[in-house]
Structure 1
Amino acid sequence: MSRYIDSQLKPFNAKAYQNGEFIDISDKDVLGKWSVFFFYPADFTFVCPTELSDLADHYDVFKQLGVEVYSVSTDTHFTHKAWHDSSEAIGTIQYPMLGDPTGTLTRNFGVMIEEEGIADRGTFVVDPEGRVQIVEITAGGIGRDANELLRKIKAAQYIAANPGEVCPAKWKEGAETLTPSLDLIGKI
C-alpha cells in the first residue's frame, strides 16, 4: 500500500486456524464489518505470544464492537495450530490466525521484512468498506496493547458515525469531541 490511511484493502486468499479448524479467509469475508489485521514476526517467539494473548483476553470486547481480529504471520496455518496446541497463552485464542507463507498479505499491507521473510509488528484497522483507518507499526522489540487499540477503534467508529467531529488526544468513549471550525482556531 503506497498510502496507508484510506487505502483500499487488496484482494487476498488465506488459510487460517480457528477454534480447531482450518478455514479459508478472503478480502470478501472482511467487507461489511470492522477488522483488525495484526501482523507479527513469527510463531514460537517471545513478544508475539504476549501480544496475541492480550488480544485474546479482549476478544469479547472486540466482538461487542463488531470487530473481527485477524492475526497474521508468514508461518503456515499448520504452524499456527501446532503453536495453539502447545502454548498455554496461544491456546486461549479464538480469533482467526492467518497463515501467509507466500507473503502476499504481508506485502499487501507493506510490512514484509524482505531479507528475513517475516512481518513487522503492524496493526491495521479496516472499516466495513475495506478502507484502512488506523495504522501502527512498531519495532520488533516493542509489544502492542489491546486496550490502546480498542480506544482507537472506538474513536474511528465514532468518527465514522459522526462526520464533522474529531476525537482529541486521550479521547475515551463518551468524552467530548471537537467540531473543527474557524471559531475553534487558536482557542484550544
Structure 2
Amino acid sequence: MLNIGDRFPDYALKGVVSTDIKNAFVDISRKDFSNKWQVYFFWPKDFTFVCPTEIAEFGKLYEAFTDRDTELLGISTDSEFVHLAWKQQKDELRDLPFPMLSDLKRELSTALGILDQQEGVAKRAVFIVDPEGIIRFTMVTDLKVGRNPREVLRVLDALQTDELCPCNWQKGEATLVVA
C-alpha cells in the first residue's frame, strides 16, 4: 500500500456529478487538482448499507473541505452508470456536491494497494494529498466499519498548519512549541 510521503498516482476516471443523464458524466484526472489539497475516499460497493452513511456525511462537510482549498473526491470500483443509478435512487446521495468516481478497471485501487483481493473491490480507505501530490495521511478500515469524516477534516486542518499538533487537536487551538 502506498503510504505517507509517496506520490499519489496519476489517474483519469469517469465521474458522476448530476442525476441528469445529459450532464451526469465528466472526465476527471489528478492533474485537474494540481496545487490544491485533495481528499480521496474509497468505498467498497454501491447499493450497500455502510457506504451511503459515509458518503452523505462527507457531502454534509463539503463546504468545510472547500473552505480549506481542498477537493473532495469519492471513488469505488463500480461503473459510472451504477453510481448514477444509486445517486438517482438514494435520497441522501442525490445532491452530492462532489464527484463519485468510477475505478472500474481497478487501476487506481491497485496502484494505491487498497484493492481487496478476496472481494475484488476497493477497501474503505482515505488519502489526504498535499498540493504537490504527496500523500500526507492514509486510513483504511475493515469493509464493515464506517469512517469518521469529521476526523478526516480534523487531520486535514492539522496538516495544513504545518506545525506539531497534539492528540485531539482542533482547528483554532494552540499547536505545540518545541522549547
* Residue of structure 1 equivalent to 2:43: 40
- 1:75 partner amino acid: D
Shift of the alpha carbon at 1:167? 0.5
* Residue of structure 1 equivalent to 2:14: 15
Report how many aligned residue pairs link the two structures. Answer: 175
* Residue of structure 2 equivalent to 1:152: 155
Which of 167, 171, 174 aligns to 2:172? It is 174
Shift of the alpha carbon at 1:43? 0.3
Provide the C-alpha distance between the structure 1 equivalents of 2:128 and 2:33, rounded to a whole number of angstroms: 11
Provide the C-alpha distance between the structure 2 equivalents of 1:34 and 1:73, rounded to a whole number of angstroms: 20
Provide the C-alpha distance between the structure 2 equivalents of 1:167 and 1:102, rounded to a whole number of angstroms: 38
Once the two structures are overlaid, the 10-residue window that deviates more, 143-152 or 46-55, is 143-152
Provide the C-alpha distance between the structure 1 equivalents of 2:111 and 2:37, rounded to a whole number of angstroms: 18
Question: Do 1:35 and 1:67's aligned partners in 2 also have CA atoms closer than 8 Å?
Answer: yes
Provide the C-alpha distance between the structure 1 equivalents of 2:10 and 2:37, rounded to a whole number of angstroms: 16
Shift of the alpha carbon at 1:70? 0.8
Provide the C-alpha distance between the structure 1 equivalents of 2:140 and 2:7, rounded to a whole number of angstroms: 18
TM-score of the two chains, using structure 1 as the length reference: 0.89
Provide the C-alpha distance between the structure 2 equivalents of 1:31 and 1:80, rounded to a whole number of angstroms: 25
Which of 26, 30, 35 aligns to 2:33? It is 30
* Residue of structure 2 equivalent to 1:69: 72
Q: Which runs of 4+ in 1 moved over 4 A?
A: none
Once the two structures are overlaid, the 10-residue window that deviates more, 38-47 or 107-116, is 107-116
TM-score of the two chains, using structure 2 as the length reference: 0.93
Provide the C-alpha distance between the structure 2 equivalents of 1:9 and 1:126, rounded to a whole number of angstroms: 7
Once the two structures are overlaid, the 10-residue window that deviates more, 110-119 or 32-41, is 110-119
Shift of the alpha carbon at 1:55? 0.5
SS of the residue corresponding to residue 137 of structure 1 reads strand
Question: Do 1:30 and 1:130's aligned partners in 2 also have CA atoms closer than 8 Å?
Answer: no
1:117 and 2:120 aligned: yes
**Deviations 1:70-108, CA, capped at 9 Å, x for gaps:** 111000111111100000111131201100111011112
SS of the residue corresponding to residue 91 of structure 2 reads coil
**Deviations 1:27-80, CA, capped at 9 Å, x for gaps:** 211321111110110000010000000001111111111111111100011111
SS of the residue corresponding to residue 148 of structure 1 reads helix
Structure 1 unaligned segments of length 5 or more: list them: 160-164, 184-188
**Deviations 1:88-139, CA, capped at 9 Å, x for gaps:** 1111312011001110111122110123210111000001100001111111
> Please, what is the CA RMSD of the aligned residues?
1.2
Provide the C-alpha distance between the structure 1 equivalents of 2:28 and 2:114, rounded to a whole number of angstroms: 19
- 2:117 partner amino acid: E
